[in-house]
Structure 1
Amino acid sequence: MAEIIAGVSIASSFIQLVDFGTKVVSRLHDYRSDFQELPKVFRDLHIQLPLLLRTIEALRSKAESSTLPGLKDHLVPILDGCKNELQSLDQLLTDLLPVTNSWREKLKKASRSIFQESKLERMHKTLRQYTDTLMFYSIAEAQNGPSTLGEEVDTQNEATEAEMERIRRWVKGPDPHINYQSALNQRLDKTGSWFLEGNEYQNWKAQDKSLLWVNGIPGSGKSVLSASIIEDVQQSRPGLALAFFYFSFNDPEKQLFDSFCRSIFQQLTRQALIIPKPIKELFRSCTSGRRTPTVYELVKVLGDLVGAFPGCYLIVDALDESSEPDNVLRLLKDLWSRENIPHLHILMTSRKERDIELSLSGFVADEDCVSLQTKSVDEDIRRYVQYCWDHDPKFKKWRKNSELKAQVEKSLMLKASGMFRWASCQMDELRKCINVKQLRNALVSLPKDLDETYERILCGIEEQNREYALRVLRWLAFANSTLTTLEVAEIVAIDAEGEGAFDKDEVLSDPEDIIALCSSLVTIRESAVVLAHYSVQEYLVSSRACQGPAKHFALEARHSNAIVACGCLMYLLHLADGSMHDLKKLKLFYPLALYSARQWWTHASQASESCADRICILANKLDGNYRGFTICLSLHDPDDNNNQGRRSTNEKPTPELLYHASCAGIIPLIRQLMSAGANVNHAGGYLGTSLQAAIVKKHSPAVKMLLAGGAHVDVCGGRYGSVLNAACATNSENIVQQLIVAGADVNLQADTHGSPLQVACCTGSDKVLQLLLKAGANSRGVQSFADRSILRLHHGCRETPRG
């Protein structure tokens, strides 16, 4: 039934579009016949429209009998969008083309058409895009073709369709739609309309290939504007691919180049009507999707994926919040230079930072750089202030006082200077006023900038709540993943700096009180607590915060990571004192348990040396607590990321603490454990010994320390068969050199994976190969081994046959 409805819908769309397009062409043709000429701005349209109609007619018969999966679903919004564009053109022609033989009327309308030239030019480019898009699908259908080879081919087509569906579900990246929806929720009606209607944006959208860099000061509303752009492209460019990504300081995963690539790949494969051959080959080489491709493998095929669309829009928000902006720009430049991607549109937003500006020079032309001007943004801010006053219950008591409303609007607009974030914070402060006098006094003493705004908010936190607020802000600023309201409610009760530990009585009874604690500095989005803006974290870690009256709240990265690590360990030790064994119940009653077990290692590895002793004491205390350390590894075993939750809470972990410290690269803890007599050659982990764990995780300082402490370099066993094999498999040139200097046998033949040279051949590192050959590695038999084992090793098999 659904297919019948879809067929009727598309047939109707084709008929309406052809009829309407014919009408518009006829209007232009009649005018040209009557007056022997067309105004210049209509000539290109008079050529383009017949081509569009021929393309529609050619596709019409193919679409009705198409065997290409999803073609009809792709075509309906394209045809509707094309029809809407033709309707707009028809209305414009009615206004501009004279219908009488009066030369006065002709002159009047011809002069009017001059002022519509840019609009008509954009319409022409848009219709040309629709023509190219429909032509693309027509060619795709022709290449797919009807099957004439009987049931065998039909079965093969079904298998191909099933594979395409598996490919679309294969690679998973962080979901940018969460950020997109959050930004849309903050947007008021008509916010950013000045930009969407401007020439720079309209030209970017209509040109065959275009770049645009939108930059602005902190808090100028760039992310909300990005959401408006995404929504507009979705509505006005059906049939063309759209992929977007929000880099976010609040989510460490959304700062990574790897995450960006996976998200873009995931979005585009789910929109693709046809999966390009290189994507299928990569999928099959990854054992039909059982292995996740590396970021480098994805980068190699992204160009083929983007080129599989008739046009593609890529929108990248907050480039300055990426931890690897150079890699992101390198990829975008590569896509831009590809000859197989003739219709690519890239839009980026960021602050106007010098490093980004230099990276974009030679890539983005001056005319494609748009700075968000204070005057334009201020109109959006004015609309926001008016909306708050008219709709927020806190201002209801003064709503009839038009003079007071005008004073609020005037005072805020005078100092906003294009900073949406600043205006938002001031409105939050004004909400706290209980009478007109307080309100007027607040308007007279408005802070001059965001720094002073944050300083006042922090100093205004009640004395009894300051320590709680500091704990929340510290964890939010340095958390390795997004924290929920329930997790933050527990964090308030962890005294990681004082003499105490975790006090259950200090847990927030109502997690919503987090906002009361930290005011405008934090916000809650879908049960997740985050810092309200990038500028909040920037202020807290700046030298400016250290020098002002709010210096109690100033944060230093390594010191803060140490405190968070201690907090995680204290929380886990508290769990050890209980009697609960069921992991599901444990995670339910102790919401911070999973984060603590997963992340204390990472925080400890990034901690300052001055706090190392305390981390070591707590870690050893946890290690000495049979129940505590077992619970920790049951929640998260860093030695076995693919088998979470398999370890029983009653099962004693085999690897020693030194092994796990080496996995995480926690230098002070490694040093302390070795001084206490820990066995550096104990082999109990999946990766092998502590040395092998440090090698695989590429912690070079830890490798150096373990070697100095007597770690054996010719131990066999572990994930890669031997110590030197592990270094070769991970392409660690520096570590390979360290091991060779330490006397590692370059010809040691392991029971699995063969010799170091054989492993290096599979990983393809020329420099590692050179190091091994220079140290006397025997190359005999390597080629035959590599031929038989390269795929298996690359796919991550535990064992590979020896040569």
Structure 2
Amino acid sequence: MSVSRCTCFCLRPRSRETSNDSSTESRVPGSSRLLSETSSSSYPPASSPSQEPEFITRDIWSAAYEQLKNDTSLEPLVTNYEDLFFTLLTPTPTTPTPSSLQTETNPYDVTHPLSKEQFRKLAQIYTETPKSQEKIQNIASSAAKFILRIKEFVGSALAASPPASLAWAGVCLVILPVIINHAEQISAKQTGFSYVMSRFTWYDHLLDLLNRDYWKSHHNFVILRQGIRNEITNLYKLLIEYQLRAYYAYCRPLTTISRDVLKLDDWVAMITGIKEAEKRLQDYMDLNFEQHLLEKLNTISEDAHRRQRKEVTLKFKFPDELPYDVYQAYLDDIDSPLDGTGGGILEHPEFLRWASADDGLFVLSGIPGSGKSVIAKSILTKLPNRRDTTVCSFFFRDNGQGQNMATTALCRILDELFGARIALIDDIIPRLEHLLAQEVRCNLDLLWDILDDATEDTEPGAFTIVLDALDECEPESAGKLCDKISTYLSRPTPRLKFFTTTKPLLSIHEPFHFVQGVIIKSNEDAHCLEHLSKDIERVVASRFKHFATLCIHDEDLKEELLQLVQPKQERTYLFVKLLFDFLDLKIRDGLPRVPREWIAVFKTLPATVKETYLEFLGRIRKVHRNDVRLMLQMVVAATRPLTVWEINTALNIRDCQNGSPNGLGLQTEDAFRDWILDACRFFLDVYNGRVYFIHQTAKDYLLATSDDRSCTKPDWLGEFTNERCHRTLAESCVAYLSLPFVSKARFKDTATHGGASFDSEARYHL
């Protein structure tokens, strides 16, 4: 580019004309025009320290330029740039359009003069201008070198002429430094400008990288990330300022030499300042990277620790034979106490002392159906309201699925313990991480030691262990568990406290006689008996109210029937439940023509649980009695709960032992389930595809011997002993194994054969 172009920079005057209303927007001079357009631009504000700052080049460039505009000492530079911008980038009839600024769609974008793209286009023009300056620089440099070469020679030659010598000294002392400084400043300016422009490109790429996902910072580093943004903004300010000074120097050539002599524009120093700012930015980025790295390493460590904790905790999950939903369903089926009931235990002086103590044992002993499980379940929520304690529990049940094992109980307790306070597992991880889950779950001694060690440093009373129906625990493991509890509570400073419920069994009571604790026999304790009698009356009144709304409207008759339905011999919750289940059956049979006929029905109601079971068996249809007897015997004999499909096959195979071309004629699983519930729903229940007794007392009633005169069974039930039950199940198994497709098949291992026997293989008969 020629010198005339540079002269054009200088000669284009700033517009000072007064515009009318219609032309106000056409030409706003200087910084006021840019300020007005900047305020109308849609640049988003910088992020606050509490937000994640975004690294958008346009926003950072705009923020840096605004800081320059607000610096009054730099106003001449800004004004010069804006005049230069409108001179070169605003098309006029007399101003030729620079080819470097032309675009296909919109050659002149003057709506956003602060655009960094336009700024770079202007810089492109600037880089074409120094050709004439280079000639001047080369001439000055050559002159300086010539003077330096002949300086001593001419000085010695003119030594004889004082006036000439004085003039030459002026050239060497005044003119030579001016020429040298001016040449050096031109060179430094050119080198610096090229460096500045290259850094803009580099930082554009940097900003793009800082917005990538792997540079996104945690909220803890938002302030540090904001510091990086501020440093980049400051660096952009220095880069832009350098360019503005370069534009100013080229547009003001008459003042350039004098400023070069005084070194008012120290281009090298400015580049040094820019590099120092880059160093500060690099320090910020290094710190941010180091913090990110430490955070990632810490996160990896925490994740590994959490996984390790989880892997160890999973070793305390229920065994495969006891699905969690089966256990939870049993727990959900336990009723919550009716309002105002349970005071016989929950308000007992001995219970209150135990509840307020930091350790100790409370044993609630009672006959079946006396509400022991209901009380145990209520303690799960009521005890933490009385004191600061975490309750861990297990509810035993003899269902043949592992719910009657002490090891299963300890696994459940440890799972709840670590679920409530996961940090307690850290000290025992080294002992368990190398063991398989099966090795942990079946080792009662190991499980107890883990419970002891995990709670050794906890506050006394911080954890309470609730064990319900300890009498249904497998006898051998129950004895070991009772001994563990007894030995533990005999120590000087036990950390745990225990609440257990059981039937009145000597084998369970005996180990606890030598420890600090209390055994309450609810069927003998006066306080319990008094409250239990009142509680039973409340429950009966609640159930009778619901019954009466269905079929009785006479208030006097209601009062009379309520007195008749009150239990006389057996005052237990179980009996009340069975009694009203029996009344529901009476409603299904049909309502009496005269409401007072209910009096005769109520006077003949069963008086005990066993009499109620006898009534239920008596209501089974004759056509179903043989199948029901066989089914009850199979459920008693099975070592685990049988599936609906297994019982369906075991019954039908007795009618068609060798199979037939049409198969066994089995019902669908849903249809057979409905048949079970219709035939004997008050003895058997179906959950999750498996068949259970509704209560342990139902099984006890069926197995009662003839010596028990209080237990009468219907004649059609026949011989009902353990031996007879196992014989019935064995006959079905032998009949199944004799089927052609089974007898001809190769032998399978126990697990494979057991898993297929009444499932996939039996489908052959459909």
- TM-score normalised by L of structure 2: 0.51
CA RMSD of superposed structures (Å):
4.2
- Distance in 2 separating the partners of 1:445 and 1:288: 56
- Decide which of 365, 378, 382 is 1:232's aligned counterpart: 382
Q: Residue in 1 aligned with 2:30?
A: none
Matches of 2:597 and 2:402 in 1, distance apart?
43
- Contact 2:486–2:514 (Cα < 8 Å) also in 1: no
Note the 1:392-411 alignment, pairs <5 A. 392=547, 395-411=548-564
Kept in 2, the 8 Å contact 1:214–1:370? The answer is yes
SS at match of 1:227: helix
Letter in 1 for 2:351: Y
d(CA) in 2 for partners of 1:497 and 1:362?
60
CA distance in 1, matches of 2:425, 2:492: 16
Alignment partner for residue 533 of structure 2, among 370, 378, 381?
378
Residue 748 (structure 2) pairs with residue 625 (structure 1): no
Does residue 447 of structure 1 match 2:606?
A: yes
1:176-225 CA deviation, whole Å, 9 max, x = no partner? 533321103x6544442553344333332221113211111222121122
1:469 is displaced (CA, Å) by: 1.5
Q: Is the 8 A contact 2:467 2:499 kept in 1?
A: yes
Task: Give the match for residue 404 of structure 2.
Answer: 255
Equivalent in the alignment of 1:472: 631
Q: 2 CA distance for matches of 1:414 and 1:150?
A: 69
Change (3 A) 1:282 1:637: farther
1:283 Cα deviation from its structure 2 partner: 1.5
Partner residue of 1:39?
Answer: none
**Map 1:673-688 → 2, pairs under 5 A:** none
Alignment of 1:504 with 2:669, yes or no, is: no
Q: In the alignment, which residue of structure 2 is the partner of 1:215?
A: 365
Identity of aligned residues (%): 18
Classify 1:151/1:414 alpha carbon distance in 2 versus 1 (closer, same or farther; 3 Å): closer
Superposed displacement of residue 319, structure 1: 1.1
Structure 2 match to 1:540: 702
The answer to whether the 8 Å contact 1:430/1:442 transfers is: no
Return 5+ residue gaps in structure 2 as ranges.
Answer: 1-49, 51-219, 221-292
Change (3 A) 1:637 1:531: closer
Structure 2 counterpart of 1:560, one-letter code: C
Could you tell me which residue of structure 1 aligns to residue 544 of structure 2?
389
Match of 1:458 in 2: 617
Q: CA-to-partner distance for each residue in 1:51-100, whole Å, 9 max, x for gaps?
A: xxxxxxxxxxxxxx9xxxxxxxxxxxxxxxxxxxxxxxxxxxxxxxxxxx
Quote the offset at 1:631 in angstroms.
10
Give SS of 1:543's match.
Answer: coil
Give the aligned residue type for 2:470: L
Q: 1:199 aligns with which of 335, 349, 359?
A: 349
Q: Deviations for 1:539-558, whole angstroms, at most 9, x for unmatched residues?
A: 11121389845254353223
The CA deviation string for residues 302-358 of structure 1, in whole angstroms up to 9 with x for no partner, is 21123354311111111111122212211222332455643x221111111233232
Alignment match of 1:164 (pick from 299, 305, 309): 309
Indicate the residue corresponding to 1:312 in structure 2.
463
Alpha-carbon spacing, 1:556–1:290, altered in 2? closer, same or farther (3 Å): closer
Q: Specify whether residues 285 and 365 from structure 1 end up closer, same or farther in structure 2 by C-alpha distance, changes over 3 A only.
A: same
Instruction: Give the Cα–Cα distance (whole angstroms) in 1 for the partners of residues 425 and 404 of structure 2.
Output: 28
Query: What is the identity, as a one-letter code, of the residue corresponding to 1:625?
Result: K
Q: Which amino acid aligns with 1:345?
A: K
Kept in 2: contact 1:215–1:350 (CA 8 A): yes
Could you tell me whether the CA contact under 8 Å between 1:522 and 1:532 is conserved in 2?
yes
Higher relative contact order (CA 8 A, sep 6+): 2
Secondary structure at the counterpart of residue 316 of structure 2 = coil
1:276-425 residue pairs with structure 2 within 5 A?
A: 276=425, 279-286=428-435, 294-307=443-456, 309-310=458-459, 311-324=462-475, 325-338=478-491, 341-342=494-495, 344-363=496-515, 365-366=517-518, 371=523, 373-392=528-547, 395-415=548-568, 417-425=570-578
State the structure with more CA Rg: 2
State the shift of 1:277 in Å.
5.4
CA contact (8 A) 2:399 2:641 kept: yes
Shift of the 440–506 alpha-carbon distance from structure 1 to 2, 3 Å rule, reads farther
- Equivalence map 1:137-176=2 (5 Å): 155-173=300-318, 174=322, 175=324, 176=327
User: Residue 556 in 1 paired to residue 721 in 2?
Assistant: yes
Q: 1:245 aligned to 361, 375, 394, which one?
A: 394
Structure 1 gaps of 5+ residues are 5-64, 66-147, 578-621, 639-643, 651-803
Paired AA for residue 177 in structure 1? Q
Distance 1:329 1:337, change over 3 A: same
- The letter of the residue matching 1:159 is A
Question: Distance between the aligned counterparts of 1:191 and 1:567, measured in 2?
Answer: 47
- 2:730 maps to a residue whose letter is A
Q: Tell me the alpha carbon deviations over residues 276-304 of structure 1, each in whole angstroms, 9 at most, x when there is no partner.
A: 55521221231699976633322222211
Please tell me whether the aligned partners of residues 168 and 269 of structure 1 are also in contact (alpha carbons under 8 angstroms).
yes
Structure 1 residues 416, 291: CA separation in 2 closer, same or farther (over 3 Å shift)?
Answer: closer
Q: Partners in 2 of 1:288 and 1:350 — Cα distance?
A: 30
Structure 2: distance between partners of 1:152 and 1:268: 29
CA distance in 2, matches of 1:479, 1:505: 21
Matched residue, 1:432? 585
Task: Report how many residues are paired.
Answer: 449
C-alpha distance in 2 between matches for 1:289 and 1:541? 34
Bigger drift between 501-510 and 480-489 goes to 501-510
Shift of 1:496: 8.2
CA shift, 1:635, in A, is 4.9
- Distance in 2 (CA, whole Å) between partners of 1:511 and 1:199 is 48
What residue number does 2:683 align with? 521
Seen in structure 2, the aligned counterparts of structure 1 residues 205 and 258 have a Cα distance that, compared at 3 Å, is same
Cα drift, residue 484 of structure 1: 4.7
Change in Cα spacing, 1:517 to 1:569, as seen in structure 2 (3 Å) is same
Q: How does 1:79-158 map to 2 (within 5 A)?
A: 155-158=300-303
